[in-house]
Amino acid sequence: MTAGGGTNLDRRRVLAGSAALLASLGAPPFARLAHAMTELPLDPPTRFNFEILQERARGLAAKPYVAPPVPHADLLETVDFDAYQSITFRPERTLGPGEDTTVPVRLFHLGRYFKVPVQLYLVKDGEAREIGYDHDAFTYKDAALERKLPDDLGYAGFRLMNEGAETDWLAFLGSSYFRSSGPDGQYGLSARGLAIDTGMARPEEFPRFSAFWLHGSGDDPEAMVIDALLESESCTGAYRFTISRPGDILMDVDAHIYVRKDIERLGVAPLTSMFWYSEAKRFEAADWRPEVHDSDGLALWTGAGERIWRPLNNPRTVRTSTFTDSAPKGFGLLQRDRDFENYQDDGAFYDKRPGIWVEPLSDWGRGEVQLVEIPTDDEIYDNIAAYWKPARPVRAGDALHFPYRLHWVSDEPFVPRSVARVVATRIGRGGVPGQERTGNTRKFVIDFHGGPLDALEQRFDVEPIVDAARGKVSGRYVVKVVGTDRWRAFFDLDVSGTDAVDLRCYLKLGDEVLSETWMYQYLPFDFPS
């Protein structure tokens, strides 16, 4: 991700557009898929298992990086967004990875934004067969375009279809990005295999999944196993994704990373999202909708057990925030605001966008969750990244192992019952109405809900504990919002200058902590008069 973000923009638009187009097409029942599978060319079988893939990745890491060729690059440049939408995978060619799964699979065409083909394999009984390219596996609304596309292009990626194969729920397309529509069936933020040097002054390195092996799980006919080879200038990787849908969509990720050269900023389990504006600074909105974002905050569950909520910002310059931890229990980019009234968008459905929670499945040791926020002036740019950065330096020759589980959710999977959660953050002019106000004072209003607050009636001995890295805090108090089950904390911050101010706030009653910790990076701005 870079401040420009154009590639990310187009990747998101193409995937969303192609998904919408294919969703309108019919598909055969799965009973026909075994026959359909034979209609695509398959290479002779070769022995395959995950250990073989690990050894392949390890061996590649010991060799110099070779950038992948891009056949027909100039021609693919002409397959722009509109042209790409006109190309669809034939429903009757839908694949079944094996007899032990009922998950239909469809393939993506190459185009301007996805020029580098990936290798795709079907795995059964320890043998893998590569899927050969078939020009006729796609339909082309533009006959002239169809005639000029060669017969040796290859595939850009793939997606997993819902029962009946009319809509999809998971897609791998572009670099190491993958996305799920989540439990509410609406695409939003993305996950990645690995992030390298995100948000730094030099260009970001984008590792890519160059090959995939698709299996049935063997245990659950509605689950799948996807193995993937990751390659980049700085490292290689062997990834296994074990995917199931017991309610939320779960992905157990077994990531083995082999380092080619020193890496300054390695991002493990990276998440990528979009945040334009929220209720916090509604006057900065240039659009008619009250809020526009795929995610509204970063949630953290530290190794020490603290629950933290960090609302997202759309800063004026690239900013990286760090949250130091040891053996984290989890973190995620979430969409806590699920009220349609706060978005008013019945096309993008931001109220239905999934969140992603990262659950480490081993002790990750010391490190930090990093949050990168990049300026954006539109909803089409992915401008938010979050990931785990190990504290130990990453050196050439290292072999790293990170097992974790991705929860694609409408609500975080481990909701804290012992503390209330933050549900809204608002910023406005500080001071008291009718009294003189200074231009440097801002009022912060934070809504909390749930946990021990549910059992409390209105009282005035609940106190907000507020810390500010600089400036003067005043006017602190908490009230229960009349007619609701929310509690609202107020405080004023008087601060000069333009440097960011790190803020913390949580609620207490006597010695009892009532809420998670609200953490915010206030970026001083000129409030309209």
> Residues 375, 316: contact at Cβ < 8 Å?
yes
Residues 144 and 204 in one domain: yes
Range of the domain at 403: 6-409
Looking up residue 263, the CATH number of its domain turns out to be 2.70.98.10
Q: What's the pLDDT at 179?
A: 97
Task: Answer yes or no: do 344 and 478 share one domain.
Answer: no
Rounded (10°) CA dihedral 109, 39, 148, 24: -50
The answer to the question of residue 376 being in a domain is yes
Answer whether residue 123 is part of any domain: yes
Q: Is residue 359 part of a domain?
A: yes
- In tens, the pLDDT along 22-69 reads 333 333 333 333 334 447 999 999 999 999 999 999 999 999 999 999
Averaged pLDDT of the chain: 90
Short-list 8, 17, 15, CA closest to 372: 8
Contacting residues for 203 by C-beta, under 8 A, at least 6 apart: 2, 197
Indicate whether 435 belongs to any domain: yes
Calculate mean pLDDT across residues 353-357.
98
pLDDT digits (tens, 9 = 90+) for 475-523: 999 999 999 999 999 999 999 988 999 999 999 999 999 999 999 999 9
Mean pLDDT for 68-87 is 94
Could you tell me the pLDDT band of residue 367, with boundaries at 50, 70 and 90?
A: very high
* 6 membership: H or E segment, kind and range: helix 6-23
List the structure tokens of 133: 């390219």
Statement to judge: residues 441 and 402 lie in one domain: no
Residue 529 lies in a domain: no
Closest listed residue to residue 312, CA positions, set 283, 282, 341, 333: 333
Residue 526: the pLDDT is 57
Residue 432 has what pLDDT?
A: 86
Residue 185, in any domain of the structure:
yes
- pLDDT given at position 433: 85
Residue 496 and residue 364 in one domain: no
The pLDDT of 365-373, averaged and rounded, is 98
State percent of the chain over pLDDT 90. Answer: 80
Residue 273 shares a structural domain with residue 337 = yes
Q: In this predicted model, what pLDDT tens digit does every residue of 158-207 receive, in sequence order?
A: 999 988 878 999 999 999 999 999 999 999 999 999 999 999 999 999 99
Domain count, the chain: 2
Say yes or no: 401 and 445 in one domain: no
Domain C-terminal end among 409, 439, 458:
409
The percentage of residues in the chain with a pLDDT greater than 70, rounded to a whole number, is: 91
CATH number of the CATH domain containing 498: 2.60.40.10
Please indicate, yes or no, whether residues 302 and 427 belong to a single structural domain of this protein.
Answer: no
- What are 447-487's pLDDT values in tens digits? 999 999 999 999 999 999 999 999 999 999 999 999 999 99
Same domain, 485 and 435: yes
Q: Which range has the worst mean pLDDT, 276-290, 303-317, 366-380? A: 276-290
- Tell me, what's the pLDDT at 99? 55
Residue 268's CB: how many other CB atoms inside 10 A?
22
> Do 388 and 290 share a domain, yes or no?
yes
Q: What is the mean pLDDT of residues 295-320?
A: 96
All residues at 6 or more sequence positions from 364 whose CB lies less than 8 Å from its CB, including other chains = 268, 327, 328, 388, 390, 402
pLDDT digits (tens, 9 = 90+) for 200-254: 999 999 999 999 999 987 777 778 999 999 999 999 999 999 999 888 899 999 9
Identify whether 214 is part of a domain: yes
Cα distance between residue 172 and residue 159, in whole Å:
6
Q: Are residues 321 and 463 in the same domain?
A: no
Q: Same domain, yes or no, for 382 and 476? A: no
Q: Mean per-residue pLDDT for 418-434?
A: 92
- Which of 386, 409, 432 is where one domain is finished? 409
Please tell me the pTM assigned to this model: 0.91
b/e code 349-370 from CB counts within 10 Å (16+ = b) = ebbbbbbbbbbbeeebeebbbb
Residues forming beta bridges with residue 421, ordered by sequence position: 449
Domain boundary among 365, 384, 409: 409
- On the question of pLDDT at 379 being above 90, the answer is yes
**Residue of 105, 72, 104, 109 whose CA lies nearest to 88:** 109
Residues 427 and 314 both lie in one domain? no
Encode 250-266: b = buried (16+ Cβ within 10 Å), e = exposed.
bbbbbbbbbbbeebebb
Instruction: Give the whole-angstrom CA distance, residue 272 versus residue 294.
Output: 10
- Domain for residue 187, yes or no? yes
How does residue 282 score in pLDDT terms, banded at 50, 70 and 90?
Answer: confident
* Phi, psi (degrees; rounded to nearest 5) at 125: 55, 40
User: Tokens standing for 494?
Assistant: 């008087």
